[in-house]
Amino acid sequence: MIGIILGTRPEIIKMSPVIKECEDQGLDYFILHTGQHYSYEMDRIFFDMLNLPHPNYNLDVGSGTHASQTGKIMLGIESILSKEQPEVVLVQGDTNTVLSGSLAAAKLNIKIGHIEAGLRSFDRSMPEEINRIVSDHISDYLFAPTEMSYRQLVKEGIDPEKIFVTGNTVVDAVHQNIEIAKNKVDILKDLGLSPKEYILVTFHRAENVDVKERLEGIITGLKLIKDYFSLPIVFPIHPRTEKMIEKFDFSLEGINVIPPQGFLEFLQLEANAKFVLTDSGGLQEETCILGVPCITLRENTERPETLEVGSNVLAGVNPLTMLNHAKNVVREKSWNNPYGDGTAAKLIVDVCREVSK
Ligand code: UD1
Ligand code: UDP
C-alpha cells in the first residue's frame, strides 16, 4: 500500500498526476491531507476541479507557528501510519507537511519517497530549504526532477542507487489540464483581458511578505511596471499576502487583485500573460513549460534550470531592478523545458509499485 501525504495547494496540484496514476494502475493507496491549507480556494477547489478522490484522512491542523504546525502534523500522521502500515509514503516538495510527513514515517521505519528531491536555494533562512534537506536525507527513494538535482544529491553523499531522475510532475499536471482548461473555462473573458496584454503577479513567500520593507519594495515595483507598460496587472492574492498587506496597511490601488484561482483558470492566466512576476516555486517551473517569461522576486532560486535555459531571471525586490528586468524580458525568445516530458508520475508510481509488492 502507498500512503500519499499532502497539505498545501502546490502539493495537491503536483500530486494530482501521481494520484491519477495510482487510480489507473488500480493500486492500493490512501490520501492523507494534513489540512495545512484549508480555505476552499487553497484546497477543496483543486480536488473538485481536477476530479481527485477526496482524502481518506484530513488532520485539519490549520495554520500556526512552524513548531506547532509540524508537531501537530507529526502526531496525526504517526497514528494513521501506525494503523495503515503502508509499505511506502510519498511526500512532494518542501512544505512543513513534507518535513513532518517524512519525519513521522522515518521514525516508524516506513519507506519514504520524496518527489522533487535535490532542489537547493542554498539559503537556510528559508523554512523550505530546511524542509528539503531533512526530507531528502531521510528518504529512501529520491525522485529528482532533473540531472542538476540528481548531481546535488550525489554531492551531498546520498547513495545514487536511491535516486531516480523522473522529471517534475508539474509537467504532467500542465499537460493534463491545459486543454481541459481551454474547453472548460474562459477567465480572460471573465476578467475582460486580452492575450499578452496583461501582466500576472503572485507572491507569498514569508521572507518577502512578512518583512515590511521587502513587501513595500515589491508593491512599489509593481506600480512602476504598470505605469511603464500601461497594462493591467492581475494579482490572484495568496491569503498570507492579503493578511500582511492589511497588517502593514499598504494599498494595492491600481492593481487588479482577485481571489486565488482554480488551477484551470490559473493555467489560462499564466499561458496568456505577457510575462509573470512571482516568488512562487511552481510558477518558475510552469512559466518555463508554457513559454512565458518569468521574473522572480527573490535573490536566489532552487530552480536554477530556469535561469540556465533563460526563461527566468532573478530580480529581488528592488523596484527599479524589477522594472529593468521587465523591460528586458518582453523580447520574444524560446527555450527548452528542462523538467521532463510529462511521464514523471508514471515513473514514480512504477518504483513505488515494485517496492510495495
Ligand atoms: C506554505 C509553505 C510554502 C508554500 C506555500 C504554498 C511552509 C513552511 N510553507 O506557505 O512553502 O510555498 O504554502 O502556497 O510549509 N492561510 C489561509 N488559508 C489557507 C492557508 C493559509 O488563510 O488555506 C493563511 C493563514 O493566515 C496562514 C498563512 O496563510 O497563517 C500562511 O499559511 P502557511 O500554510 O503557514 O504558509 P504559506 O505561506 O501558505
Ligand atoms: N496556483 C493556482 N491558483 C492561483 C495561484 C497559483 O492554481 O491563484 C497554482 C500554480 O499554477 C502552481 C501552484 O499553485 O501550480 C503554486 O503554488 P504556490 O505559488 O502557492 O506555491 P509554491 O509553488 O511557491 O510552493
Atom of ligand 2 nearest to the CA of 173: 15
Nearest alpha carbon, ligand 1 atom 20:
37
Which three cell numbers mark 164? 531516480
Q: Which atom of ligand 2 is nearest to the CA of 128?
A: 25
Q: Which tens digits make up the pLDDT trace of 176-193?
A: 999 999 999 999 999 999
Residue 100 Cβ < 6 Å to ligand 2 = no
Q: Binning pLDDT at 50, 70 and 90, where does residue 332 land?
A: low
Which atom from ligand 1 is nearest to the alpha carbon of 41? 23
Ligand in nearest proximity to the CA of 73: 1
Q: Is the pLDDT of residue 109 over 90?
A: yes
**Mean predicted confidence (pLDDT) in 147-155:** 98
pLDDT for 324 equals 97
Of the bound ligands, which one is closest to the alpha carbon of residue 67? 1
For a ligand 1 pocket test, name from 124, 240, 247, 283 the mutation site with the most ligand atoms within 8 angstroms of its C-beta: 240
Domains of the chain (ranges, CATH numbers): 2-168+341-355 (3.40.50.2000), 186-329 (3.40.50.2000)
Question: Ligand 1 centre from 317 Cα, in Å?
Answer: 20
Does the Cβ of 202 fall within 6 Å of ligand 2?
yes
Confidence of residue 330 (pLDDT cuts 50, 70, 90): low
* Residue 355: band (very low, low, confident or very high) from pLDDT cuts 50, 70, 90: confident
The residue whose CA has the least distance to atom 26 of ligand 1 is: 240
Residue 58 has pLDDT above 70, yes or no: yes
Structure confidence at residue 166 (pLDDT): 98
Within 6 A (CB) of ligand 1 lie 8-10, 36-39, 42-43, 63, 94-96, 127-128, 204, 206, 239-240, 243
Structure confidence at residue 261 as a pLDDT band (50, 70, 90)? very high
Is 80 exceeded by the pLDDT of residue 312?
yes
Q: Is 114 a catalytic residue?
A: no
Report pLDDT digits (tens) over 72-86.
999 999 999 999 999
Name the active-site residue from 33, 114, 204, 238: 204
Please compute the mean of the pLDDT values over residues 311-322 and round it to a whole number.
Answer: 98
Is pTM beyond 0.85? Reply is: yes
Looking from the CA of residue 94, the nearest atom of ligand 2 is 25
Q: Which of 36, 59, 284 to mutate to test the pocket of ligand 1 (most atoms within 8 A of CB)?
A: 36
Kindly report the protein residue whose alpha carbon is nearest to atom 3 of ligand 1: 95
